Each structure stands twice: as structure tokens, then as C-alpha cells.
Structure 1
């Protein structure tokens, strides 16, 4: 090419490529390494902690052995303490000195590997050490000694792409060291070189995102070329300022007036457990909080939002030095408690009260500890969002909602980024879904451009939120991210970036977009559908704990109100928090390593034992002395002569009729239902004798267990992909079908490496067939379903969620309908046609599917299946192996109200205790559509009785609430038991309520 001529288009393309390649190499090999061009090694000694982590005071007093860079350390899940000592060279006077400590990081996997927390010799936390954040400040002056202790965690790098690994369980992880100490130096921090690297990175990212024919792209290209020409690669520190001068002009060019506005909110999405146990999360949150509070000292405008009250409670308990720094910056408005929940929980499977208590305990912690009450809900990574949430959020005193996970949808692109989300009761919440499509942004030009390009509300709204900071395993924002934010605050070709708190963003977004569109119903995630089923023991523990807590509060409140026993405030508070912790969105969904779920199973056993003790003490106090038997019913509907939420003196229940054998089949008949079970152990007829109709379609069989192969394309424990249905094995061979006592039939099967034992039971006076299923499960990459074909022509199913239910299409008319091929339900799912319906209730199952099939003789039948067990191999290779017990039941002729009633009864069996006193219900409601969900004493220990109830059928209801004790005052409250400004204040003598569909009402009753 001749100088002075205009190059051709092809030559310009080649020129761009040459400059870009030149830039990449210079940045990688010259500029970044020159940030710490001058260094001296530190002296390193190490102490390897035996077993679990120890506190600083214990570690500091140990004998440390000499070691050095290059030496191995850290068996999986082990902890090594390094003592680093040295002297700042005298010739570094006037320089900024930092310690550079590389524990053996893989720079591409921040948050998923080894990490460290540095301490001064007297035990004060300094900051965390993470990949891409491996420096420590040095206060020592030239000639002065420097010493720091580093608690290094050898967390194994568990590949989350689905490879089977033994590393998730310390029993199988091995003991060989996993890491080598790569570097431990004192170094001069070349500020001008570091700034040059940031200038180049921002401009390079921006340039690559601009169109190939935009003048701005070439302005940046030529400026970068001039900067490289000005940089002496043999003396980068000495020429960095000269190179930066060549970039000053393009960096000073302001953004367009119409540029998208981004609120950058610093945060670290830290999973309370996932590919690490909870004990490691305790350390992760301390390292992250130490990082961000240290960053705030150098960057006063930086704000950081931290959700999950549990994580702050961990810092308070285990790292008080870090917590004092947190409190200082909270008071200054820089460290922002966010979200208002105890943990970032799953929202599909927690029950109504548990979902409410996530906000009660989370907000109360923030209020009591910091005097702060978050107004937003911060749930970027949960696996779909229940349609009950808008009302729960509002009743908790919040007004905004943030999520991001819906960007992971497999099939349908969600149409909005800012919208009003309407729940099942009609409550609407202003909601934002960040178009950056990540909750771990590093504020790169690529991500900022994607946020702007992707924003669905362009032309109607102008701003979105970007959560930035290394997360999942923690670390948080870095000074490099803040440098990018500063450079993109007003930069031509880039969105305008401002550092904001969540509240600042939401207030600005509401003003910017006063009339957003409305999305009604659940935010269903078209992914991770296997989380409704994986790790059955964890899910059973959760369900059982929720109902035991209901009973404990009800019976303890009743006993306390009658002066028969004290109320165990502290024990219930502690137990609730433990249950809420295990509802975190990688624990309850079953997507954590084996260690996490083994600990969860142990925790649930301990929770159950303590709650059973509390319940037993309260019931014995209520039943008093006597030679009879008192039966207590904690369900919200009467059962077998026992009032709802009350007790009755009872005798022996009448026996069930025995199973009758006819031609190799067995028949159960209680005068309401007649069930025929064939020699395969399948239900081949279920006659509803009251309605006079057969429940099963012609030629179909119920209680059919089915096995499918289950190897999703990605995310083993998380996903079920639709092609699993292409192959199915019906389990129709029975080893035994025989009577099992009055009104019961036993069925025993063997299949693969597993076996199943079932008892089908028809009780006197019951309009439901109970099935108790015990599975000894030893399959791999398979899913077990229980199928019930039903002779109803249903175009939708109804599934219980928190405080109500949702309707979902049973057909696949649209891609949105087809994507819901696996759905979540709580205690029941219902299908029906006008005049007749059938419910399937369960005591511990969440995953279901509903399909429609042609019916022999014409019409369409509907099949409901429960997903009982899976066997994914990642992240826990032994997921669900072993013995399991499930209870479920078929309820013919059921309306929605029957499904509600039977669902509660399946999960709250009556309790019989010796005694002679049947205390009447503490509270009662006269409308069966209105369900009492909780009865407890007020958390402020005033002695007030708190009653939470809701309309359960989806219609209007008028109900009268009666209290067995005299009441002097009634006040409607929010979930935190604070009076609502416009709340109802019924007459204590006549507590009547009018409820809209699915409305939740919390009443506070003051005893007279």
C-alpha cells in the first residue's frame, strides 16, 4: 500500500484485523503484566487445618511450616492458612505497594474454586482473594515489615456442565492437593498502566460492538492504533501516560441524548448452597463483604446491594469484624440490604406460610439490625415465579420485583423487560427483568451493548438495571468494574451507566414508564423442570416441616391462650429460619452437591424431632387428664367428627370392609366407591357409586407406574427435556397382589435394580382411594411416574400454589402451552369437565404432568401423572438412591373445594393423645371457601392472636370468624403483623369479612 493513497475495502478490513490482533497481544502480554512490573517475593509459611475450618484465633497460634510459590496445597474442601511476611524495599518510597497473592486461580472461573480471606496479624479482616481480584493493600512503608495471614479454602472446581464427579462429597473427593500457590509477592502498583488497561478494554469492547460502517468505530480504532504507537513495549510504565493521551479524545466524546440508561447495581449473587456446602457459604459471604467494604473506602460513590438476611446473619455470627464494617457502610447508605427475604428461595415449592415467612424473617432482620426495610424483591436466579407472589410481596410491604432467570427460557422469549405483574388475586407489582441477561455482569462493553440492544421497551422506556459483580460463588464487584462504569457514564456509542441502588433504579423506572404492560399469572421458567422432583428426601423434609410448624404454632397458641402452657417463641423462630434456609433455590429444588442434601436430610430429621416434641407437649397440656382419647385435627376442615383446628373425644373407628376376590381380581367397596384391582396390581375400574359413573376411561388402568429414560441435554438435576416421553416402560408385572388387612390391597413389584411396595386403601366413609408407595430406588438417569388416566374431558388443570391455585392449559395449542409439559403443584391437582372433576392429592410430591388422549368410543380423556423420582448424576451422582415413601390419593367427584380439603387432610393426619378434655377450636370460620392457614401468637410477644386466612376457590366469599376466647380488638395487618393503613377493623363481637378471589387476610386479635 502506497503512503497517501486510500486503501480499498478489502485492505481496510485487513487493517482492522491487524490493529485488533496487535491490540489483543499488547494488552495480554505487555500492558496487563506491567501493572505489577516490579515485585519481590514474600516469605511463605503454611498450616494445613485438619478437618473443618477453624477461627482466626485458633489458626494464628499454630506452627507454620515453610513453603513457597509452586508448592501444592489443599485437598478438596480443606483449608490452608498461609502466613506471608516481607519488607517493603526502601527504593519504593512514594510508590503504591500491594501484595499480589495468586492461590492457584483459574481466572475464567471466579467463584467456583479456591478463595481466601486475608487478616492482619491481630485478626482484623482485610479483604478477600478471588480469581480476578488477587491483590491486597499494603500499609507498611518502605523499610517496614509486612505480615498477613490468609485463610485459603480449597474448594474444588466442580464443572457445572454436567460431568459426573465425586468432588461434591468429602467422603469420595479424595485427599490429593488440588492447587499450587502461584504467586505471593510485594509489588508496585503502576496506577497509570492499570488506567491504560481500563481505557483500552472499554474502547476495544465498544469498538467491536459498533457496526462495521459506523464512523465511531474507526475513530476508536485509529485512536487505539495511535496509543499503541506511543507505547514503548519495553517501558510500559514510563510511556503509559503518553499512550493514554492518545485515547483522551475518544473517551471524552459524550453519549447520544437518546442513549439507553443503565442503572448499575453492585451485588454478588451468592448461592447459599450449591456446588459447595452451607459452611463454605458462611466464608464466601464474609470474603465478599470484606471485598466490597474495602472497595468502598477507595470509591465513596460505589453502592453494593446484598440480599438474603441469612447471609448477613452468618457474617454477624462468624465474622463480627466484617459485620462492623458492613454496619458502618449501611449507615452511610453505601452497603444496601436488599430483597427483604431470608434467602433467595425457590418460589414454586414453598408453601404459602413459608413464602410469607421468607419476607417476615428477612425484613425483620433488616429492620432490627440496620433500621432499613427494602421495598424491592430481589430474586434474579430462582427457577420460575409463583403467581401468588404479587400479593405476598405487597402484603409484606414491598412494591417492586426483580428477576432475570426468565431469559433462560428454552422456547418462548418473554415479551417484556419492565411490566406490571398481576397475581392470582389481581394484585399488581412493578417488575423489572434486566435485559443484560445476566446477574453476574462485569460491565463489559459487550454486556452493556446487549442490554441496550435487547431492551424490549425501547421507544416507551429508556432505562434498565444491570446487576454487576462476580457471583454464584461470590466475590462481588471489583475496581476494574468500577473503572468501566466511570468510563461509560457518558461515552459516545455506549449506554449511559450510573451507579445506583435498587430503590433509585425502581423509582426512576416507574417515573420513566408510568403505564407499563401487564403480565397476568405465573412467570413459568421453560427450563429446570426437573427441580420439581430431584432429591425427593429434601422435598419431603420441606413439606413435612411446613406442616409440623403449622401444627406447632396452632396447638401452642391454643394452649397458651388457655393458660395451659407457655408459647415457645424462640424455638419456633429458630426452626422457621432453619426451614426457610433450606428453601434456597439450589437446595429445595434438588440441584446441589451430595454434601448439601445429606446435611439437609439430617437437618429435617432434627427439625421434625423438635417440632414433634413441641406439638406433643402442647397437645398433652390441652388434652389434660382422663382415661379417654382426644383426637386433634390441625386441618382447616372438619374430619371424622373432629372440628377444623380443634379436638374431640373419640373412640374406635369402624373397620373397613375387607377386599373381595373375584376371578383373580380384588374389589374394595365402601358404599361410595368401588375399586377393582387386577392381577397386575392396576386399578382397572373405579366406580363413583354416588355419581353413578366410571372414573377411568374404557380400557385404561390407573395406579400405573411408568419409567422413562431421563438424560437431559444440559443441567442434569435441573432439567427434564420433552423427548423423555418418546420412550416409556409400563411397570405391569407384579410379584404379589394380595389383601393387606381391612379395606386394603398390597402390590409388590420388581423392576431393573429397584422394587416397589404399594398399599391401596379404601377407608370407611371416604371418597378417595389412598395409595401408599414405597420405592427402593437404584436406577440411573431415569424418571418414575405414577399415572392416572381419567374419564374427564378437561382443557385445563388446576394446581394448588401458595394461598390458591392456578389454571394451566392441558392442550398444546401454542408454544407457550406446549412448553408447560411439566408443572408444579402443591398438595393437589384437579381436572374436570362441567359437573364432574377428579383430584389427585399428595403428601410430598411437586412435579406433575397432564395430557389428553383420544378416548375409546369418542371424546377425549385426561391423564394426570405424578413425578415421583429421578436419578440424575450431576451434581450428586447418587441422587435419590435408596428407600422412599410417598402418599397420594385419587379423589373422584371432586370440586375444587374437595381438592383443597383432601389436600390438607393428606398432609395433616389427625393426632390422638390420652386425655379427657376436648378444647374447642381457638378460631373457626363458617365458610368452607375461606381457609385458615395460620394461627399463632404475635411475634412481639404481646399475647395477641394472629390469624391468617385466604379465599381458596377463586371466588367471592363472606365469612364470619369466631374466637373461643373474648376479644377486645381486631385489626387487619400486613405479614409482619403491623396494622395496614387502610386495613379492616371488624367489630370484636362480630368478626365478618368479605374477601375477593384468593385474597389473603391477616388479623390480629387482642384478647379481652
Structure 2
């Protein structure tokens, strides 16, 4: 390695940063009313980044043993542990240590902070993933140790979105400790953070990192010099009498010299301040009475922008598994509503590998290669478990549906909380001769548009198997509709070529059939041209960064939100995909959709894109597949719009944020640019990185980087490889969609659109049989279009937990909610699904108010509706 950069966060970097600014300063005069420097010993368990989960446990569990020994030997010592994925294995593997562990907890000298399964990234995973982190972590600590964790401890997480104050408060946290994302380096160390719904949360910002007091000397005179320098380094951030000095590093050892040196320092009559070893809770108690803490509004982003597209396939896995798991929960909850015996144990087994993979470093893709491979195995295991749960829930539901009728029954399930029309696909097979074509009929006898996506035939020409796309209209909310695929002697021809454009009732697209670029996107209503230049174009340009950072090497001490502007990559300096051409596009047309497919060489690699326009949908679905063969480059999709002076908004977990131009931010399901009259939204499936500059929406789809220069430590050792992150020769596919719209993002219903794109209708053939459920049924009704159900899951006590949020930033009073099962009683609950206040139920339904962007969890107990 060249230009070695020290371990993040670096003791050496801290020395340069802190000592230079403080050693020459005059020592504060001693007085009878000395300030106090609160030293907080901890260890930051990495979860998985340079080593796998198990390797880090082998490295890190002995640190807990050392901490327990120090707690036993030194009455003034304190220590902090956080992640359940770290503490749980310790108590399982060292059961004889549990009595001492409990004893120090009871004494308040050992504190559990964090309260989550891991220390996750909070920007890229969905909101329900964060809720599961809380439920898993705090649930474990309550059940195993009988404690409620109230100190939020995301000290190394790479930025924080603006719904964190509400989420943490709803989860019972009373504080939030972090070191990254404030707007300027001299930001006050203690402040109140106001989220987008108005909730305020006390924050404890660590301006000199979570290691400011780590690595102290064992010599009293050197310790005095060290600690005064550390104290003075916080002058600009914490000028009051009390300052917090965390003392821990990545998988760092507890320091036996700390308590003796603190005792010796406090005996010096000329000391400028007092030292006290403390827990975060003790420091929070001291600061709580203060009334002068400033209020910070908004988000603490972005940090480490390169992580939004490094090892991009991990982001795709994350999004896919979140969707599958919440769908599995919904189907399991429906089994409960229908009277089945269900358990949530299997759901948690499927969730935990996904929660672990959302560890801040792991989700970010900054790991070594063998850790990456371990993460993929975790996702694959979760995928299998989720599939089994979905199958079980589906079968329990489908077995109850009356599916009789002519043809092959196909049940289409809608996991969303609103009635929905969308395109879906199903695989069917035929064992009878003479099948030339098919048609699809719904439960009301209406023939729905359909077309063959692919087909195989018998030697006599009859269809053997086919994949059929069809329009599933008005599938009820959290419910299903039954269709029948009927055979015909008339052929259902595969789509045939069409002229060089795509068109439906809403849009007309022109596509360069040699490059794949969309050269025109015209909205027919109002005759608005969306684009000012070719779009759906990939720009590839040099990026001499690493897996963390765009265009530069890692600054492990980075704690101020990035404000560097990123222009649209200029042609000539960047290579554009439409600079190269291939053979003419493959074009298909049909009653359900029309589609262009283009492929050609690109910048020493390969490029392929598909653009699909549906006959009855406003959404334009796209995929782009890249094969990269060069190091230190990044790829961005470009959509140059005709919008000038518009606002850029991104979806965040349970909300949306307006963001400044030219800065890459992490988005959830959608990003939008609109001027109030018109807008273009880009929906994505696991592509977090979005930038808007000069009216162009840019989406990061691939980066080719490794760890770069990194100092050995924290588990990183000579010989470890991260070369796989260069993505050389690997095929990576980005899924996204375009949604031109009138008005702003609220008018366009983008919260719903983004969820529909990531939660497609589920269509499966079933057997024909009688059942006690009708051919079509919805199980949940929410009257307000801005209130979205994000989760429906079974509880252990036979109840159902439903989580909803207001998605537009506007009040939604009197929102009526009804389950198909008769609701006997209801209660408002926290994120742990503990009931708080009863809610009146009338005629089996309830009516509640929502503040802008408010998140609410409801506990519903049901019984059969009276006949």
C-alpha cells in the first residue's frame, strides 16, 4: 500500500488534529469550581468489515472479558457495550460470566447503549429495517437482562436522516450519540435535533471522534499533558463546565491504566479540571438540566458518498430482501387473521442475517473480499427462509379461495395498502395438444390485456409452457384477485417489431435504436417535452477515490456533512454510452407493453439497456446492464430534463427531504426534480446515490474501487484483499423507472409509486377448488391516500401490529382504518409494539389523526365479524 492512511478513527490522526491545536495553549487556571471531563470507556465492535462476523467475535469477545475484569478490580471503572449481535454471543459462550455481567449492569458501571442488533447504516436500508433493528436489539436486552436501553449509540454510522428523532423517540430512546454529519466542525457538542415531524431528540456529538481519550499514557506526567490536550481540543464545541471524552476504538482493548491515571490526575491540586470515568447515562444526567442547547433542524448527511454505489449489488440485495420479508410478514399476519396458528420465530430467523448485513460498513460495501462473500451467503440464507415463509403464507391463503372456473386459476396478491392496477407475469404449462394461444379473464368475467413474454412449444407447434404478462386491474388493498388463463386455438403471437418509438395513451418516446438513449420523452397531456438532451445515458469517468470516498482517499476522521459540488460529467472527459453504437435494437410490441432492447460495447466493457412502456401505466420501466473492465471509474445514469429552477426531493425512511443541487445524497425508492408544474421522478430498486445538477438527475449505478491506502488495525491485516470491489468483468444490472408527472411530488403520489415498483404484484397458478373466501378480497382499508401502511405483522399474543405513516408532510385528520376481520379493540403503540393508549373502535373500524410525516403503530385484536 502507498500513502498509508491510519485506522478509522485514527489515534494518530487525532494526535495531529488535537495536540497541534492545544499543547501550546495556556492551561486553564485552577479554581474551586473546576470543569469536569467525563471519560467514557467503550469498545466499538465492527460487526463485519475486514473480518467476518465470527472472526470479529473471536477477536472482540475477549475484550468483554477484560472489561469485566477491570470492573471487578477497579471500583471507579466504567464500560459501555452496544450491539446485541456482540453481547448475545458473549452471554451464550460465557454463561459463567452472566452473574458478574448482571451485577455491573445493576451497579450502573456497565452500560448497554445502542439497543440495536448491530450499528447499522440508517440511510440506505428501509425504515422497517431500522424498526426491526430496534425490536430485535431492545427486545433481546429486555427479555434476557431485564433492561430498557435508552441511550442511542450510533457513533460510527455514516450520516443520519431526518426521521431519526421521531424513530428513536418512538423506540424509547432519550439520547443519540454520534460523531458524523453536523454542518460545521465547530458545531456545539450537545444540541437538540428536530426531525421533519417536529420531534426533538437530545444529541451528543463527538467532534474529536469516539476515540478522543483512547491511547492515554501510563505515566502521570505524560497523562497530564495528554488529557489537557484532549480537553482543550473541545473548547470550540463544548465551552461549558462538562465535556464528554469517549475512550475507545475499533475492536479496541479496555485500558487498565485509565482509572489509576485518572485517580492520580485528580490528586493534583493544580489540575485545571476534574476527570471522571463515566457511562453515557451519567453524562446525559448532568447535561439534561441545561436550557441553552441549540436546536438543529434537518438531516446530518451526506458522509462517505462513495458507499452509495460501492459493491452496488449489496444494495440490490438489501432492497430485495426487505421487500420479501415484509411481504412474508403480511402473509403470515393474514394467516393469523384467518384463524391460523402462526409464530414470529421463523420471521426473526429470516430477518436477522439481513439486519446484520446492514451494519454500517457492511451495507456500505467497504469490506474485504472474504467478508463480502460471507455477506452474500447471509442474504442467500435469508432469501431461502423468506421464500419458505411466503410459500407457507401463500398456500394458507390460496387454499381458502374459491378458484373454480374455466382455465388455469391464477391468484394475484397485492402487498400494498391501496387498491392497485399493475402488470404482472405468471408461468403456466399445458399437457394437452393443440394449444395455440391464451387469454386471461378476471373473476368478473372481464378479459384482461395479455401477451406472451416467452414460450416453448411441442414438436407439433402447440404451446408447452409460457410466461404470460397481463394487466391485473383493481387488485384489492392487502388482498388478492383471481384470474383464469384460458387456452385458445387462436395463436397468441410473441411480440413483433415496431417502428422506432414507443407510445401509449400518456407518453411518446423516441429511442436511438443503435445506442439505447431516449432522445425524446413527450407527455401528451399539455404536450410537455421532459428532456432537453438524450437521457438514459451512462457516463463513465475517472474517480481516484476508494470504496468510502468519491474522488479522494478515505478521511477516517470525516465528521462534517459533505458539501462538495458534483457537476454533470462533461462529454469528452467522461465517456458516454451513446458515443458507441451496436446493431439495431430488438423491439417488441403487444397489448400489455412495448419494449426496446439495445446492447453494444462501451468503454472497454459492455452496455445493454431495456426500456419498457406499458399500455395502461404511466411508469416507464428500465434496466441497464454494465460490464466494467477498468479500475478507478464510476458510472452514472443521466437524465437531462427541461426543468429549470426546480426542487430536488429524495425519499428517506418514512418521509421525504428537499436537497441542495450538486451534492450526492442517499435516496430510498425515488428521487424527483419538479418546478411545481411538471416533474420527473426516477424510481429505483437498490440504487441509493442520487444527485441533481443543472436540471439533470444523476443516479450512481457502479463504482470500481478497493480499500485503497488503509492503516493496519481494527482487524485489517497485511494480505487482505478487496480487489473484488473493482467489479472487473462482473455483470451488474440496475433496475429503475421513469415517472413524468404534473404538479409536485405529492400530486404524483411518489410514495406509492416507489413502493409499487419495489413491491410488484405476486401472481401464482393454483389448483381449482371450492373455498370459503371469495375470488377477490381485500383485508385492509385506509381511507387517506397519503397514509401508507409499511408493515402488518403477527404478534406473539395473537394480535396484529400495523405500522403507518403520513407520506406527504401534510396533516391527515380522521384517517379511517378497517380490517376485513372485525376489530374488537385497538391501541396506539410504540415501535416495540407495546400498547400505550386505547383507540376507540366503531363498527369494527377506527379513525385516527396523523400529523405531517407522523409514524404510528397500532395493535389490533380481531374476532369474526358478526353475521
Common fold by TM > 0.5: yes
Q: Secondary structure of 1:631's match?
A: strand
Shift of 1:324: 5.0
Deviations 1:770-827 (A, max 9, x none): 11122233331110111111112244311111111111122xxxxxxx6xx2111011
Q: Measured at CA, do residues 206 and 871 of structure 1 come closer, stay the same or move farther in structure 2, by a change above 3 Å?
A: closer
Is 2:449 aligned against 1:449?
A: no
Is 2:298 aligned against 1:518?
A: no
Are the equivalent residues in 2 in contact too, given 1:308–1:342 (CA < 8 A)? yes
Max radius of gyration: which structure? 1
Deviations 1:903-927 (A, max 9, x none): 1111111111224654633322011
Shift of 1:618: 1.2
Q: 2:626 — aligned with what?
A: 775
- Distance of 1:936 and 1:637 partners within structure 2: 17
Q: 1:954 — aligned with what?
A: 809
Q: Measured at CA, do residues 983 and 954 of structure 1 come closer, stay the same or move farther in structure 2, by a change above 3 Å?
A: farther
Match of 1:933 among 790, 793, 807: 790
Are the equivalent residues in 2 in contact too, given 1:534–1:718 (CA < 8 A)? no
- Distance of 2:382 and 2:93 partners within structure 1: 23
Q: Measured at CA, do residues 494 and 580 of structure 1 come closer, stay the same or move farther in structure 2, by a change above 3 Å?
A: farther
Are the equivalent residues in 2 in contact too, given 1:687–1:695 (CA < 8 A)? yes
Match of 2:264 among 484, 487, 493: 487
Is 2:460 aligned against 1:683?
A: no
- Distance of 1:447 and 1:796 partners within structure 2: 47
Are the equivalent residues in 1 in contact too, given 2:620–2:737 (CA < 8 A)? yes
Q: Measured at CA, do residues 768 and 448 of structure 1 come closer, stay the same or move farther in structure 2, by a change above 3 Å?
A: farther
Is 2:430 aligned against 1:649?
A: no
Q: Secondary structure of 1:273's match?
A: coil
Q: 1:122 — aligned with what?
A: none
Is 2:108 aligned against 1:260?
A: no
Deviations 1:567-587 (A, max 9, x none): 241111122222111111100
- Structure 1: gaps of 5 or more residues: 1-157, 164-204, 218-253, 811-817, 853-861
Q: 2:195 — aligned with what?
A: 423
Are the equivalent residues in 1 in contact too, given 2:516–2:609 (CA < 8 A)? no
- Distance of 1:797 and 1:433 partners within structure 2: 28
Is 2:732 aligned against 1:884?
A: yes
Q: Measured at CA, do residues 282 and 298 of structure 1 come closer, stay the same or move farther in structure 2, by a change above 3 Å?
A: same
Are the equivalent residues in 2 in contact too, given 1:402–1:431 (CA < 8 A)? yes
Q: Measured at CA, do residues 746 and 870 of structure 1 come closer, stay the same or move farther in structure 2, by a change above 3 Å?
A: same
Q: 2:582 — aligned with what?
A: 735
Is 2:396 aligned against 1:621?
A: yes
- Distance of 1:685 and 1:869 partners within structure 2: 25
- Distance of 1:807 and 1:307 partners within structure 2: 33
Deviations 1:481-536 (A, max 9, x none): 2223223346535432212221111111111x2231111111114x4111111111
Q: 1:631 — aligned with what?
A: 412
Q: Measured at CA, do residues 717 and 655 of structure 1 come closer, stay the same or move farther in structure 2, by a change above 3 Å?
A: farther
> How many residue pairs get matched?
735
Shift of 1:976: 0.7
- Distance of 2:682 and 2:152 partners within structure 1: 33
Q: Secondary structure of 2:835's match?
A: coil
Are the equivalent residues in 2 in contact too, given 1:284–1:474 (CA < 8 A)? no
Deviations 1:446-500 (A, max 9, x none): 45534444344556x422221113x21232x212122232233465354322122
Is 2:739 aligned against 1:963?
A: no
Are the equivalent residues in 2 in contact too, given 1:351–1:826 (CA < 8 A)? yes
Are the equivalent residues in 2 in contact too, given 1:970–1:988 (CA < 8 A)? no
Deviations 1:220-265 (A, max 9, x none): xxxxxxxxxxxxxxxxxxxxxxxxxxxxxxxxxx943454322211
Are the equivalent residues in 1 in contact too, given 2:213–2:230 (CA < 8 A)? no
Shift of 1:295: 0.9
Q: Measured at CA, do residues 286 and 521 of structure 1 come closer, stay the same or move farther in structure 2, by a change above 3 Å?
A: same
Match of 1:747 among 581, 586, 598: 598
Q: Measured at CA, do residues 207 and 282 of structure 1 come closer, stay the same or move farther in structure 2, by a change above 3 Å?
A: closer
Are the equivalent residues in 2 in contact too, given 1:780–1:871 (CA < 8 A)? yes
Q: 1:872 — aligned with what?
A: 705
Are the equivalent residues in 2 in contact too, given 1:969–1:988 (CA < 8 A)? no
- Distance of 2:485 and 2:627 partners within structure 1: 34
Are the equivalent residues in 1 in contact too, given 2:804–2:856 (CA < 8 A)? yes
Is 2:246 aligned against 1:464?
A: no
Q: Measured at CA, do residues 363 and 766 of structure 1 come closer, stay the same or move farther in structure 2, by a change above 3 Å?
A: same
Q: Normalising by structure 2, report the TM-score.
A: 0.80
Q: 1:432 — aligned with what?
A: 204
Q: Secondary structure of 1:534's match?
A: coil
Q: 2:844 — aligned with what?
A: 989
Are the equivalent residues in 1 in contact too, given 2:193–2:295 (CA < 8 A)? yes
Q: Measured at CA, do residues 162 and 261 of structure 1 come closer, stay the same or move farther in structure 2, by a change above 3 Å?
A: closer
Q: Secondary structure of 2:634's match?
A: strand
- Distance of 2:738 and 2:496 partners within structure 1: 19
Counting only pairs closer than 5 Å after superposition, residues 323-362 of structure 1 correspond to structure 2 as: 323-362=98-137
Are the equivalent residues in 2 in contact too, given 1:263–1:500 (CA < 8 A)? yes
CA RMSD of aligned residues (A): 2.8
Q: Secondary structure of 1:390's match?
A: helix
Deviations 1:837-870 (A, max 9, x none): 2110011110111111xxxxxxxxx111110010
Q: Measured at CA, do residues 908 and 209 of structure 1 come closer, stay the same or move farther in structure 2, by a change above 3 Å?
A: closer
Q: 2:287 — aligned with what?
A: 509
- Structure 2: gaps of 5 or more residues: 7-17, 217-222, 422-473, 487-491, 553-563, 709-721
- Distance of 2:280 and 2:776 partners within structure 1: 50
Q: 1:44 — aligned with what?
A: none
- Distance of 1:310 and 1:300 partners within structure 2: 28
Q: Measured at CA, do residues 1007 and 414 of structure 1 come closer, stay the same or move farther in structure 2, by a change above 3 Å?
A: farther
Q: 2:252 — aligned with what?
A: 474
Q: Measured at CA, do residues 705 and 655 of structure 1 come closer, stay the same or move farther in structure 2, by a change above 3 Å?
A: farther
Q: Secondary structure of 1:343's match?
A: coil
Q: Measured at CA, do residues 448 and 356 of structure 1 come closer, stay the same or move farther in structure 2, by a change above 3 Å?
A: farther
Higher helix share: 1
Q: Secondary structure of 2:362's match?
A: coil
Q: Measured at CA, do residues 295 and 367 of structure 1 come closer, stay the same or move farther in structure 2, by a change above 3 Å?
A: same
- Distance of 1:991 and 1:515 partners within structure 2: 42
Is 2:399 aligned against 1:542?
A: no
Q: Secondary structure of 1:806's match?
A: strand
Counting only pairs closer than 5 Å after superposition, residues 543-692 of structure 1 correspond to structure 2 as: 543-563=319-339, 565-624=340-399, 626=403, 627-640=408-421, 641-650=474-483, 660-661=498-499, 666-678=500-512, 679-692=514-527
- Distance of 1:510 and 1:287 partners within structure 2: 34
